[in-house]
Each structure stands twice: as structure tokens, then as C-alpha cells.
Structure 1
Amino acid sequence: MSRTASPPTPHPSLQNLLSGLQHASLPSDDIFLVGGGVRDLLLGRSLKDLDLACRDAQTVALGLSKALNACFVPLGRNHDPPSFRVVPRDADQTGTQPGSVFLDVTEIHGRNILEDLGRRDFTVNAMALPLGLLPNALASPMSEVPESTAWQRQLLDPHSGRLDAFQGLIRRTGPRSLVEDPLRILRGFRLRAQLGWTIEPATLDDMTRHAQALARISGERIRSELQLILECPGGGRLLAEMDRAGVLGVLFPELREMRGCGQNHFHHLDVFEHSLAAVGQCEALLAELSAVFGELEEPILAALHGWRLPWLKLAVLLHDIGKPGTKGRRSTKESTERITFYGHDALGATMAESIASRLRLSSAESKYVIGLIREHLHVGVLLRPEAKLKARLRWMRRLGPDLIPAILLCLADVRATLGPGSSLQEHQAQEARGVALIREYLEQTRTTFNVAPLINGHDLLAQGLSPGPLLGRTLRHLQEAQDAGEITTREEAVILAKRLLELEAMTDSHGL
């Protein structure tokens, strides 16, 4: 006997879209709900967006835009098949922001809807519901048994996607599915990350067989799927599965040199395995925010809003990418050799810049990932007990809100470091110092960093200093001194500025 439950109430914006759709006087027998919306209806999940397939998609989308008083957005001239987006006027028109609500209308690909479904990626996405049945589907209780409701019995399901959905299986629609669009390999892992389902063995074999074809997919499309994978709570842990399928090495060929690259006695894993473990530890920390960070959970989540969360995980994966290229050895006092990686942070940042460009990350996203990798050793120094207040304040100023994800990266790195030179007691102490540093940063943003500078650039220009790098350096030194309480009045700031300029002049004369 099956159990039933009431369908979840859609988001208010989507509810308005659905209501308008049902009153738009469309030829519902020739328009179908397809893709993830059908899958979500079957599983009793909240609908996030809608995909319709029909003939003359442009005319239908234009008609819907007028009927719903929404915006009409063509999805590119080269989109095959032609697709059009209908977006409420108060929503993000690209449909890419969190909480976006939109409706896509796509031309039926092939002779009919069944041929269209046969060209789709996975069986759970290859089902179609005549639009006229959507009200019944939304009103019907959800059941664990396929075909137990009237609308399910009328569902077009030529590839048994309904059964796979109830069994939690991700299965390719046909033998050509991954060949026709290799990006579907990543999409399969994305579904696994989002739904927690299992990739059917033959499909996984096919993904492995065709993984190399991902090299010809555009960076924008790779970035989109990778971001969706990594924003899931367990997405980072799928990186190991993606690696076994040959996917990770195609996306990031720079990782290959990390395999088998041994480390010093603080580490129990090579650089590659350590990096994967660090991503897993980062996700463990994120799952334990309340337990580890207490009242800091909310500001930490605010610092990881939007793309900052998935790209933190990417930075964790890449944080030691410069180690193979900087590996060296030096003799110790005990006449033994010690493995070193001097400069791996700087080299890693340079390599990350190339990766960010390949993935077509925005300038803000690139700066974020590169900065986390470049500064991860500096932030690690701040977690030492001997770190001075002035140094902490300097790095708080320099990194701003990015200090919080940088600390999370460092703590994940520490957790993944379990060699004979490591100690659990020291790990716990570093974690406690990380919590304290975040707390201190948040307090300093409310107090110290809210105080106006004692002296500004105009004041220095009035003193005869010319615009340029020296002006910037002097202002930075003055701000650091003010933050640390070394100067507290304008007069003290002017005196220190003159002293700094005199020292600079002396340095220049000695250099000559």
C-alpha cells in the first residue's frame, strides 16, 4: 500500500507564474511540460522553474509574455533547438541568480515530442506532461508508487524515466546521449550531487569512455555545471568519483602533476589526495558551522553568499596546485633532508589565474579564487599563537570579508594534514584560533575599521607629496599605525608621515 502526501506549495513567484499559465488560453494539447519540472512533480519536490516544449516556440513564448505581463528573453541565436525565456518583471531576467523564477519555452526537436524526448540527456529528464494535466498534477497527492495517479498514467515516458526516478537512478537516455553533448557527463554528476542518486553502471562506464570529449566544451558551460555541483553540500566529495571517471583530469590537467607528489612529515597523503581530502574537510566544516563556530554561523554564511561558496571549494582543491613546480629539498641540522615548497602559493595563484580564465570566471570570481590561493599561507601564519595584533589587523584590512573563507580554507587544510609531524592537539588549537580570528575580525569591522583616517591623501598632497605608489604606501602605513593604536591624533599622524617620507628618501639615496 502506497503512502501519499500533499504536494509542496510552490514559491509565491512561481505560484503566480503557474496561475497565469493556466489562464493564458494556450493550446495545451500541443504544449508539454518537460525536464526537471516533471521529475520534481513525480517526487513531490517543490518546483523551481518550468520548461515547456512545443511547436512555434517563439510565438508561444511571446504570447505568454504578454499574458503574464512578463519579459521575453531569446536564449541566443545559436541555441539549438530555439529557446526563449519568460521572466516575471520583478525577477532576475537571466534566471541565474539564487531564487530566480522563470519559464523556458523550447521548440520540439524532431518530428514529434517522443523523438524530442529521445534526444534528451537522462531518462528522468526525458518525460513529458501535456500542459492541460498540470493543474491535476499540482493538486494531486504524491505517491511512492509509479502510475498511481491519473496524471501519471497519461505521462509520456518512453524511456522508463518514471521508474528510474522512483529508484533514484541516473541513466542515459540512449547510447548516443553523451556523444551528442559531452557536457551531459558533468550534468550527470550534478544530478547526483543535487539529488543524492546513483549513476547507473553502464552510464558511468559511458561517462568514463567519453570523458576526454569534455576538453572541447566551452569554459562557460563547464563553469555553470561545476558551480552547480560545488554549491551542493556534498558536491566536493564527488570530486573523487569524477576523478575515477577521468573527468577531473580533463577539466583541470594541472592536477596531474600533483599525483604522487610526496610531502613532508606533516602530511600523510600526496598533494593530490591531500587536496581532495581538504575539500571534504571544508564541507565537513560547513556542515558543522553551528557546532564549531556557534554564533558566528550567520556572518560566515553571509560571507559565503552566492558563488563564494562553490568557488571556496574550488580554491581548496587548487590551493596546493603550485607545489609540484616548487618542490625542493634542503638539509637540516640533523643531516637529513627536508622537502620544501617555497613559493608554491605564488605559483599556485598564477596557475589559478589561467584556470579562472579558462572557466570564464568573472573578474570578481577570479580575484576571489586567486586571492584565497595566494594568501593561504599568510592567513595560516595568523593562526599561530605568536601572531601580533598589528599583523592581524593588516591582513584583516587587506582581505576584508574574504578573510572568513580564507580561514575556512586554512582550517580544512589543517584537518586534512595528518602526518607523523602533526598532532590532534595542535589541530584543535588552530581551529580554536581560527574561530577567535573570525570573531575578532567581525568585532574590528564594527569598531576600529569604522573610524575615519587621521590623515588622508589630500593632506599628504598638501605636504608636497606627489601622487603615485609612495603616496599609497604612506597612507597604508599610517592606517596600520592608527589601527594598532600607535597614533591617535592628527598631529601624531603628520609627524609619522614626515618620518616615513624621510626614511623613504634615505632608502632611495642609499639605493643610488
Structure 2
Amino acid sequence: MRDGLLGRLGPKPDLDLVVPEDAIALCRVLGRRHGGTVVVLDAERSIARLVLRGWSLDLARRVGESLECDLWRRDFRLNALALPLEPGAELLDPTGGLEDLIQGELVAVREANLLDDPLRMLRGVRLAAELGFRLEPRTQAWIACHHDRISQVAPERVLQELERLADAPGGGAGLEEALALGLLDPWRPIVPGPLWGPGVNPGAGARNLDHPQARELGLSPTEAARALPLARLAWLLDAPALERLRSSRQLQQRCGRLRQWLLRLLGSTGDIPVGLENLSEAQRLTLHQQLETDLPALLLFFPGNLAAEWLARWRNPQDPLFHPRAPIDGHTLQVSLGLSPSPQLGELLAHLTLEAACGRLRGRDEALRQARLWLTRTMA
């Protein structure tokens, strides 16, 4: 109902239905009857999902004696709207959610409702970021007062909300608000480092990622969808924090690598890219090897001119530095130079990759000549 009234419904929106009795049993009957897939979301509260020809219907057993009682148990007033499926039925709004939609505010139904499921506090920040709304002051005060309850929530559920928040249009400011309210305290980096150090506003980077930097940089929608959430999460959470949130190993590695380079390139006031000039050729190569697929996330922190220059090179798959590759494969080196698999072969491939990335090698024959020279020097 909320998204419908705000004009945010897609062609096949997710539908939430409340039923008087066992929602899981009804969902299974509907699945058998219409050929859909049933997923049990919460067996204790009798909540299930029916996926049917591109539609997703969530069915939940009513809580309380009536639909109105059920709505009073919801998290936020704008989520406590319902339309009975009866001819001529009128919209139910017992808590005042329609007024919140008009005012652009997110208001908790009751303080106790937030405590029933502490994840609702983080969900409120996420919804505000998605909708472009503001948290009502009393609701914000309740969240600040009870923020420590978030540690009672399963880490996987917290991570899901954080990822959705990082992906929201106002995700940078939303993460900053979650940080200010204490909702990230259990997962803040154990060793703060410069991103949290004196003189650096820990939320500044996340907030800055809400201005139209992605559009100014010229990121495509696909590039921005990958870069923005990663940059926001890496600014605030390190790999161990993500591990405590039970994230995937891939997300831990991506955020960890990006965060390490942000730490390395930060100046004393948090300016980027002060540290670039101090990188050796080998370090610069390592940067592009480790961030080859995620470089746009780093560029969101760069000054505009430099970011545009790097983005243009990154988009060129033939650029030897931004997409480093050995100019010749290990098998060819073994056959041509009589080498066997060994650490020495790995060192030679790394040397040739660096030479090619720095523009000092072109073509197979030149790579073989350089390989012979390198072997002569190392064996002397």
C-alpha cells in the first residue's frame, strides 16, 4: 500500500497479504493449485512466500483479533496501511500513516514495537534512505536510546539491511545516520585506522557518495550499481567486521581490498589521492591487479579530473596497466626457454607483467628477449 500510494510500484510488485489463519498452509494450497513455488519465511509466525510467474506474494497470519489490531503491531506508521479485499472496502489507516506519507516522515508506531524486533531500528534508517524521508525526532530518539539491542539480531539479517541501505539512493547519508545512532557499533573496525582517526569525519566519505559524483564521473547505471554500495560499505566496515556479519567471502575480500587502498592513499585530512605519488611501479601494478574489477569504487573518492582520466583508461580493456596481464604465458616460457614449473618461473612472469604494464614491452618476441635477459641477470 505504501509504495502504491507513493507511485513506486513496478509492473509486478511484491504483494503482502494478511490472512486470519495459517498462512503457510494456505500458501501451499495456492502453490499446488497454481503451480507456484512456496518458501517458508518464518514458521513460528506463520509467514510464507509464493513465487508465481514473476510475482512474489508474502502471506502472513494475522496478529490479534482483527486486521486493525495487526496494523497496530507494525514497525512504522506508513507500513501500517491495509486495504481489505472486499468490494467497496476502504483503506485502513489506524495509526496515521497517510499523514506521514504526505509529510515525508518515518514515524514508529510504538517504542515497544521497535523492541519486539530490534532490526526494525536499522530498517527505519534504510526505509528513510530509500524513500527520501526523514526520521521523526521521537522515533530517532527511541532508536538512539535502544541502539545496543541491534546486537541481539542475527548477523545475516543485519547484513541484509546494510546491503540494502548501501544500495539505496540516499545510502551514504543513511549509513552515516546509522553510524551516528550507534547501530553500527557492534561491527565497527576493531583497529580504527585513518578512516576513523583524528581529523577525519568517519561519515564524511559515505555522505559525499550521495552527491551526484557517480553521474559527474560518467558511470553507467551498471557501473554505479556495483561501485556505490561497495564504496559506502568499505568506508565504514573492514573485512573482519563483515566476517562477523557473516557476509560472503567475496564481499569481505572486495571491501577489504578497497578499504586497504583507501587507508593507504588517505592524507592526514582524509584527502584522496595524496598517497599516489608515493607508490612505486610495483605498488601501482598491485593496485590495478587487486582493484581491476572494482576500480570505479575507488574513483568515487578521487578529484574529478583524475577520476575521469583513470575511468577512461579503465574502460579500455587493452590498457596494460589498468588491466595488467603477462605478455606471454608460462607454458610458452617453459617450452621456449627450457624452464620447469618453479618459483623462478612465477617471478619471471611477474617481472614481465610489470614491464608490460609500464609500457616497456610489446609483443611476444620482445617478451622472450626480456625473459632471457632476466634469466641471465638472476643466474649470474
**Matching of residue 53 in structure 1 with residue 7 in structure 2:** no
| Structure 2 unaligned residues grouped into runs of 5+ | 266-271
Q: Secondary structure at the match of 1:51?
A: strand
Give the Cα–Cα distance (whole angstroms) in 2 for the partners of residues 130 and 468 of structure 1. Answer: 72
Kept in 2, the 8 Å contact 1:249–1:255? The answer is no
Asked whether the equivalents of residues 70 and 88 of structure 1 are also in contact (C-alpha less than 8 Å), the reply is yes
Q: What is the CA-CA distance between 1:505 and the residue it aligns to?
A: 4.7
Which of residues 359, 362, 365 in structure 2 aligns to 1:488?
362
Partner of 2:333: 460
1:390 touches 1:483 (CA, 8 Å); kept in 2?
Answer: no
Q: Residue 371 of structure 1: CA displacement? A: 0.8
Q: 1:82 aligns with which of 35, 38, 46?
A: 46
Does residue 368 of structure 1 match 2:368?
Answer: no
TM-score (norm 1): 0.63
1:120–1:177 Cα contact (<8 Å) kept: yes
Which residue of the partner structure matches residue 233 of structure 2?
314
SS at match of 2:210: helix
**Over alpha carbons, which structure has the higher Rg?**
1
Q: CA deviation at 1:178?
A: 1.5
Q: Which residue of 2 aligns with 1:442?
A: 315
Q: Structure 1, residues 39-58: CA drift from partner, whole Å, max 9, x if none?
A: 22333432531111212212
TM-score, structure 2 normalization: 0.83
Amino acid at match of 1:104: D
- 1:162-183 CA-to-partner distances (Å, cap 9, x unmatched) read 3333333322222311111111
Once the two structures are superposed, the pairs formed by residues 140-179 of structure 1 within 5 Å of their partners are: 151=89, 154-179=90-115
Task: Evaluate the alpha carbon distance shift between residue 257 and residue 217 of structure 1 in structure 2; reply closer, same or farther with a 3 A threshold.
Answer: farther
Partner residue of 1:187 out of 80, 102, 123? 123
Task: Identify unmatched segments of 5+ residues in structure 1.
Answer: 1-37, 92-100, 134-149, 263-269, 319-351, 412-429, 507-512
Equivalent in 340, 354, 358 of residue 240 of structure 2: 354
Correspondence 1:281 to 2:200: no
Residue 344 (structure 2) pairs with residue 500 (structure 1): no
1:109 has 2:63 as partner: yes
The answer to whether 1:302 aligns with 2:208 is no
Secondary structure of the 2:219 match is helix
Q: Which amino acid aligns with 1:380?
A: P
Q: Secondary structure at 1:438's aligned position in 2?
A: helix
- Cα gap change, 1:180 to 1:256, in 2 (>3 Å): farther
Are the equivalent residues in 1 in contact too, given 2:189–2:241 (CA < 8 A)?
A: no
1:128 CA displacement? 2.3
Counterparts of 2:103 and 2:17 in 1: how far apart (Å)?
25
Structure 1 CA distance for aligned equivalents of residues 68 and 231 of structure 2: 42
Compared with structure 1, are the counterparts of its residues 288 and 403 closer, same or farther at alpha carbon in structure 2 (3 Å cutoff)? closer
- Three-state SS of the structure 2 residue aligned to 1:401 is coil
- Give the partner amino acid of 1:200: E
Distance 1:450 1:354 in 2: 28
Please name the residue that 2:76 is paired with: 122
Same amino acid, percent of matched pairs: 31
Aligned match for 2:134, one of 186, 198, 203: 198
SS at match of 1:103: strand
Cα distance in structure 1, aligned partners of 2:124 and 2:363:
62
Query: Would you say the 8 A contact 2:187–2:245 is kept in 1?
Result: no
Alpha-carbon distance in structure 2 between the residues aligned to 1:225 and 1:456:
44
